[in-house]
A and B are shown apart, each in its own frame.
Chain A
Amino acid sequence: MDNPIENRGFVFTKESLRKKFRWSEFLSEKIITGVAFLSITIIILIFFFVFKESLPIFQTRKKEVAKVEHVQKQEQYGGESDKGQTNSSGQEQYGVTTKDTMMIENQARGADTVVHGSDQATFKSLTGKQWLPVSDNPRYGLIPLFVGTLKITLIAMLFAAPIAILAALFSASFAPYWMREIIKPAIELLAGFPSVVIGFFALMVMASFFQNIFGYDGRLNAFVGGVAMAMAAIPIIFTITEDALTAVPRTYTEASLALGATRWQTALFVTLPAATPGIFAAILLGVGRVFGETMIALMATGNAALISVNPFESVRTLAATIGAEMAEVVFGDTHYNVLFLIGSLLFIFNFSLNALAEFYVKGKLVKRFQGKQS
C-alpha cells in the first residue's frame, strides 16, 4: 500500500494490527470474572444451606400427620404443668460437647421414631404462643419471639430514626464545614463499635441507669435493649439520610432561598421532602440492622420469651434465640431445625427489606430528581 512506513523497516497490515490472543490476558479476565461471581454464589449458598437445614421440619410433618395430631392433644393436657418451670433456662440439659452431639445425632438417625415421636414442630406448633424448646414436652411457638423482635425494633426505631434524621439534617443543611468534618467521622466511628461492646455497655451501665430513673423491676428488658440497638442503627440511618439530603440538587435549595424562604424553611419544606425516598431506605436498612442484631439482644434484653406490650418487660428476639440455643442443641434435632427455620425467616426478611430499599426507592429518587414525577 503506502510506502513511507515500509521504509522504516516494519509494516502495519490489517493482520499485525489485530489484537493478539494472549493467554495471560485471557486467563486473567476469566479468573477475575469468575471471582466476581463469588458474591452472588455466596448469597445463593447462604440461602440454600440455611434453608436446607430447616427442611426436615416440613418432611416430618408430611410423614407423621396422623401421629402429630395425636401428640398435639396430649401436649395440651401436659402443657399447664411445666409452664412456669422451664422459662428459657433449661439450657443446662445439653451439657454435651459437639463430639457427643454428633454421636447422638447418628444414633437418632438409626432410631428415627425416637426423634419424630417426641417432637412436634408442625405448622400448628410453630404458630403457638409458647417457646419452650428444652422442656420434656418441647413447644416451638414462634409468636413470642416475633412479638419480642417487633417490640424491640419499634423501640429502637422510635429512638434512632428521629435522632439520626435530625442529626443528618443538621449536618447536611445547617452545620458549618468544620462541624460537619467532626460529626461525620465521629458517626463513622460509632458504626465501627462492636455490637458486643454496645451490649456490654447496655448490660452494665445503661440497665442500672434506666432502672434508677424509671424504677421498674427487671434490670434487663426491651427498653434497655431497644435503646442499645438504637445506638447500632443510628450510624446506618444517619449515613444514608445524609447522602440522600446532599444528593438533592442545589437548584432546589437555591430556588427556595431565592423566593425568600429562610434556611430552616428550605431545609424542612424543600430538602427533607425531596429526600424522602432516601430517608425511607435509611429507615428500612435500620430496621434490618435491629431485626438481625444478636449480641445486643442476647446481653441486654433479659431473653425471656414473653408476650406483652409493656416495654419494661423482658423479651427474647429471633436472632438472640439462635445465638443462645444453637450451641447447646443436638445436631439434626427438631429444635436444631427450628432454629435454622428462624434463620431462614430472618434472612428472607432482611433480603426483602434490602431489595425494597434498593429497587423501589432508588427508582423513585432518580425519577424525582429528573423531574419525571407525575
Chain B
Amino acid sequence: MSKQKKIAGGLFIGLTAFSAVLIIAVIVILLVVIIIGGKGTFSWEFLTSFPEDGMMKGGIFPAIYGTALLVLIMSVAAVPFGTITAIYLTEYAHEKSILAQTIRFAVRTLATVPSIIFGLFGLGFFIKFVGGGMDDAFLGGHLKWGQPNILWASLTMSLLTLPVVIVSVEEAIRTVPRELREASLALGATKWETIKRIVIPGSRSGIMTGTILAVSRGAGEVAPILFTGAAYYLATLPTSLSDQFMNLGYHIYIMATQSANVDQTLPIQFATTMVLLLLTFTLNLAAVIIRSRLRRKAK
C-alpha cells in the first residue's frame, strides 16, 4: 500500500477518535462549568430553605419538594403499567403477532413524541376533558380539577416516561432463563403463578433500572409541565393533589429567562442547575451500572 493511503487511513481513524473525544469533552466541560458556577452558592441551607425577596435570595426547597412529589406520583402511575405492558410483550404476546408489533410501534412512537406535545395533551385531555368533566359532574361547575395541578402534571409526565419503563423491564425479563420458567410450569404452577413467583422477582433489577431512569427523566423534563401545573412561585408547599407546585427545571427556566434581574440571581441559577444536573446524573449513573451488570449476567 502506498504511503499516502496509509496517512489517509491514519487521518481517518484520528478523525473518528477526535469526534468521540469531542463528545466526551463537551460532557465534561458542561459538568465542570455548571459545578464551578454553582458550588459557591450551594449549601445545606440552600437545599432546605424557601426563596426570599421575590426569589432574589434564599433556597430552593419548594422546588425540590415539588419535583420529588411529581416523580413520586408519576412513578406510581408509570411503573405498574409499564411493567405489565412489558410482561404482556414478553410472556403473553407472540413475537410476530400484529397486536404485539403494533404495541411495540406505539411504545416507540410514544418515546419519540416531542415532550411539548405531552403538555398540550395534558391540557386538552387531563385538565379540560377529565378535570373539567369532574368539576361539572361532582362540583356543579365549581372550578377545582379543571385547572393545572400536580396530579395532572404527574399523570402527563407518566405518559412520557412509560416507554422508558417498558423498555428496561422488557430487557430484564428477557434475561430470566427459559429453564426457570419451564421448571416452574413443569412443577404444576400456572402461567400467572410462574410470572408472579419467577419472572417478576427475576427481573426486579430491571424494574428498578426502569424506575430510576423514569424518575431521572421526569425530574428533568420541563416542557410537559409548563402549562399543566408548574408554578412560578408559591409561598406554601402543595398539600393536596389539586394544588400547583414548584419544580427544579421550571425554576431554572423561569429564573434564567423571565426573572426581573437575571444577573443578580445568576449564582442561584447555577446552583439550581447544578442540583438538577447532579440529581439526574447520579440517577443515570446508577441505572447505567445496574444495567451493565444485568447485561453481563445475560451473557
User: Which residues in A have some Cβ–Cβ distance to B below 8 Å?
Assistant: 22, 24-25, 28-29, 31-33, 35-40, 42-43, 45-46, 49-50, 52-53, 98-99, 102, 162-164, 166-167, 169-171, 173-175, 182-183, 185-190, 192-201, 203-205, 231, 234, 238, 262-265, 268, 285, 288-289, 291-295, 298-299, 319, 322-323, 326-327, 331, 339-340, 343, 346-347, 350-351, 353-355, 358
Decide yes or no whether B16 CB sits under 8 A from chain A: yes
For residue A185, which residue of chain B has the nearest CB? B288
Q: A295 with B16: in contact, given A193-B280, A326-B119, A347-B117 (CB under 8 Å)? A: no
| Complex: chain B residue closest to A171, CB-CB | B20
Q: Does B191 contact A (CB under 8 A)?
A: yes
Known: A49-B125, A99-B143, A358-B108. A295 touches B223 (CB 8 A): yes
B147 in the interface, Cβ–Cβ < 8 Å? yes
- Given A166-B19, A174-B13, A326-B120, does the pair A39, B103 have CB atoms closer than 8 Å? yes
Alpha-carbon distance A204/B36, docked complex (angstroms): 13
Q: Does B239 contact A (CB under 8 A)?
A: no
Tell me whether chain B's interface is mostly helix, strand or loop, or mixed. Answer: helix
Are the C-beta atoms of B33 and A32 separated by less than 8 Å?
no
For the complex, give the distance between the alpha carbons of A234 and B112 in Å.
15
Do the beta carbons of A49 and B12 come within 8 Å of each other?
no
Decide: A327 and B23 in contact? CB cutoff 8 A: no
Looking at chain B, what size class is its interface with the partner chain? 35 or more
- Give the residues in chain A near B26, CB-CB below 8 Å: 190, 231
Q: Which of B1-52 contact A (CB under 8 A)?
A: 1, 9, 12-13, 15-20, 22-24, 26-27, 30, 33-34, 37
The answer to whether B19 touches A35 (Cβ under 8 A) is: no
Knowing A50-B124, A288-B112, A343-B120, the reply to whether A36 touches B88 (Cβ < 8 A) is yes
CA distance A110 to B275 in the complex (A): 48
- State whether A37 touches B103 (Cβ < 8 A): yes
A43-B34 CB under 8 A given contacts A98-B147, A194-B249, A194-B276: no
When the two chains form their complex, are residues A102 and B27 in contact, meaning their CB atoms are under 8 A apart? no
Partner of B190, one of A25, A42, A186: A25
Given contacts A49-B124, A50-B124, contact A203 B256 (CB under 8 A): yes
Do the beta carbons of A36 and B129 come within 8 Å of each other?
A: no
CB contacts (< 8 Å) of B87 on chain A: these are 32
